[in-house]
Chain A
């Protein structure tokens, strides 16, 4: 990897160079009950809107790759015949300015499934190939457990990665495009002092992780505790609302539906992101539901993420961003659920 530094005030130059492209980044959208800023990823229209100091966002950047609803194709219907039109719904390369390590790791996980050799998803892949990603280091929040999931640092899946050293930015460069762009900034090689500062900052960041998940032997423990009563307790709380999957940067499940237009001459095939917690997720033709009760559905979510995916890819389908727990009105959080399985006790 190549490392450079550039002065703090050159960030705006970087923004200006990239501004001609559709640029997505963290921005403040409203205040919460404690009058703190709430952040989301959205299109940025001015440098002032871009808030790289954001703690976290409510939603991930998933909607730009896997929109909650996406038209897969449209049809023209004729007398006894039809024509099909496919559009991957990406017209320009997008810049993603300010993704935390967890969110870049989440994209790397999605890639394993959606760009993999078996069933590559052209809609996802075409958007993914047209991303220019600038990562940025974060300060762990009280609910972040990315460290437990091995997702607190990121080694691939971005073009450049920024760490704020105070008066300058430390950049990790991973692509030729990123290097070319950076040559338009006053970049320099990091000094010995910059190395020290970077390592100190990383140590400090490490010390700030307070939330943890003990994932040792987790696949085995989940196998052993398939019938555990804790699933019943969590399921009784769950409202089967799917918010956890909506905000999750790694959930990718969807359903497909066809809509015929009112004039009966055109039709659309649309996919809609779904959640395994929704009541009809496992409902099949004829109406049989393999997971009709909410405890079995909630359990399934955990078994997919921390057992099935782990066994298939040797990593969990979770980066520990904690968004699901923050979004869940029933206070169902990954650390609490996994801890309860280990201890057989559900916190009230």
Chain B
């Protein structure tokens, strides 16, 4: 039994919470287990009933489901539908779940049978076009990133437990990058998707002098036409820009309006 806890005198429940993975590297779940300094408090915030990476217990009695990974097989569709039936709140955890993630790169090939043969040879394996969770079920909210940023997950889960609204930054990474006092990578001759990618990672990559690859998908109203012009003005090959935009799947629909 867990102790009764309160927030400003109001009793706060420990929601029963489960973690699941579909096709993914499990890096997002690993992120959640990182950062030992706050891990115990984090695990204390909810009652975890299912988390294959950390515990052997299994239970199908949960309210919140965090689902990592994209859908690439028929059995994953079934599993996802079951999770949706049980969970009051279904959270897409990480870019694979939100947009298809790195996995969806294979959708670029016309002939998926050929892809399967290249990768798996003659192993009998089932794999289909890669899809984000929202193609099959209603997703209550998403946590972006490849991997997700632990601090952001902590804030979101705290707000979820307290019943506060969950908001993502609507503006692009550049805002966080310039706020951090960085020198813009374009100044140094390197491409970056910061101008069009949703912030929230605190400009993780540019802080470490790597251009953004857009793992968090597009900011609200991302201006891709202007991005293209910036890349052209800085003599960055179009293909280098498209490689980045395609990498995590977040820009798939926004890119349809761009000319190759």
A interface residues, Cβ below 8 angstroms from B: 29-33, 38, 40, 58-59, 63, 68-69, 77, 79-82, 236-243, 246-247, 259-264, 273, 275, 278-280, 294, 327, 329-331
What residues of chain B have their CB less than 8 Å away from a CB belonging to chain A? Answer: 5-9, 12, 38, 41-42, 44-45, 154-155, 158-159, 161-162, 164, 170-172, 174-175, 177-181, 183-184, 186-189, 194-196, 219-223, 225-227, 229-230, 233
Besides A33-B189, A63-B181, A264-B158, 4 new A-B residue pairs in contact (Cβ under 8 A), listed by A number: A69-B179, A239-B227, A275-B171, A329-B186
Taken together as a complex, chains A and B put the C-alpha atoms of A264 and B41 apart, in Å, by 9
* Residues on B with beta carbons closer than 8 Å to the beta carbon of A29: 183
Contact A239 B196 (CB under 8 A): yes
A329 near B178 with CB under 8 A, answer no
Tell me whether A68 and B180 are in contact in the complex, defined as CB-CB below 8 angstroms, given that A33-B188, A259-B155 are known contacts.
yes
Contacts of B194 in A (CB 8 A): 241
Kindly list chain B residues whose C-beta atoms are within 8 Å of the C-beta of A259: 155, 158
Residue of A nearest to B209 (CB): A30
B174 touches A243 (CB 8 A): yes
Q: List 11 A-B contacts (CB under 8 A).
A: A30-B188, A33-B189, A38-B183, A80-B9, A81-B8, A236-B226, A240-B172, A242-B172, A259-B158, A260-B7, A329-B174
A327 touches B184 (CB 8 A): yes
> A79 and B6: CB pair below 8 A?
yes
Q: What's the minimum C-beta distance from B155 to chain A, rounded to whole angstroms?
A: 6
Q: Which residues of B contact A261 (CB under 8 A)?
A: 41, 158
Known: A33-B188, A79-B9, A247-B178. A294 touches B171 (CB 8 A): no
Distance in Å from the Cβ of A299 to the closest Cβ of chain B? 16
Indicate if the CB atoms of B178 and A246 lie closer than 8 Å: yes
Greatest chain B CB density within 10 A among A63, A82, A294, A329 is at: A329
Find out whether the CB atom of B226 lies under 8 angstroms from the CB atom of A330: yes
Also in contact, A280 and B171, with CB within 8 A (given A79-B6, A259-B155):
yes
Among A38, A77, A80, A279, the residue within 8 A (CB) of B170 is A279
Report the bound CA distance from A262 to B159 in whole Å. Answer: 10
B15 CB to closest chain A CB (Å) equals: 13
Residue of A259, A264, A275 contacting most chain B CB atoms (<10 Å): A264
Complex Cα spacing A33 to B189, Å = 6
Chain B residues closer than 8 Å to A275, beta-carbon distance: 171, 175
Tell me which residues across on chain A come within 8 A of B220, comparing CB atoms: 279-280
Which residue of the partner chain, among B12, B45, B188, B223, contacts A262 with CB atoms under 8 Å? B45
Complex Cα gap A125–B152 (Å):
31
- Chain B contacts for A240, CB-based, 8 A: 171-172, 219, 221, 223
Contact of A77 among B7, B164, B223, B233 (CB under 8 A): B7
Assess whether B183 is in contact with A30, with CB atoms less than 8 Å apart.
yes
Assess whether B195 is in contact with A241, with CB atoms less than 8 Å apart.
yes
Residues of A within 8 A of B179 (CB): 68-69, 246, 273
Q: B206 to nearest A CB, angstroms?
A: 12
Evaluate contact between A242 and B178: CB separation under 8 angstroms: yes
B211 to chain A, nearest CB (A): 13
**CA distance in complex: A79, B10 (Å):** 8
Rounded to whole Å, the gap between the CB of A336 and the closest CB of chain B is 15
With a cutoff of 8 Å between Cβ atoms, the chain A residues found around residue B187 in the complex are 32-33, 38
Select from chain B the residue with minimum beta-carbon distance to A265. Answer: B7
Question: Least Cβ distance of B220 to chain A in Å?
Answer: 5
Given contacts A239-B196, A241-B172, A280-B170, contact A262 B42 (CB under 8 A): yes
Question: How many whole Å from A41's CB to the nearest CB in chain B?
Answer: 9
B192's closest neighbor in chain A, by CB? A329
With A29-B183, A68-B179, A273-B179 in contact, do A241 and B12 touch (Cβ < 8 Å)? no
**CB <8 Å contact, A263 and B178:** no
Tell me the bound Cα distance from A38 to B189 in angstroms.
Answer: 13
What is the bound-complex CA distance between A79 and B184, given in angstroms? 47
Q: How far is the CB of A77 from chain B (nearest CB, A)?
A: 6
In the complex the two chains form, is A278's CB within 8 Å of B188's CB? Answer: no
Complex CA–CA separation, A236 to B195 (angstroms): 14
B8 engages A239 (CB within 8 Å): no
Are A243 and B178 in contact, CB atoms less than 8 angstroms apart?
A: yes
Given A38-B187, A262-B45; A80-B8 close (CB under 8 Å):
yes
Q: Which residue of B lies closest to A82 (CB)?
A: B8
Provide the residues of chain A in CB contact with B233, threshold 8 Å: 331
Asked whether, in the complex, the Cβ of A278 is within 8 Å of the Cβ of B171, the reply is yes
Nearest B residue to A33, CB-CB: B189
- Given known contacts A263-B41, A279-B220, is B188 in contact with A239 (CB within 8 Å)? no
CA of A327 to CA of B7, assembled, Å? 44
Could you tell me if B5 and A264 are in contact, using CB atoms closer than 8 angstroms?
yes
CA distance A33 to B233 in the complex (A): 13
Of all chain A residues, which has the CB nearest B176? A68
Q: Is the CB of B38 within 8 A of A262?
A: yes
Please, which residue of chain A has its CB at the minimum distance from the CB of B155? A259
Q: How far is the CA of A135 from the CA of B234 in the complex (A)?
A: 35
Minimum CB–CB distance for B209 against chain A, Å: 9
**A69→B8 CA distance, assembly (Å):** 26
| Residue numbers in A under 8 Å from B195 (CB-CB) | 239, 241, 329
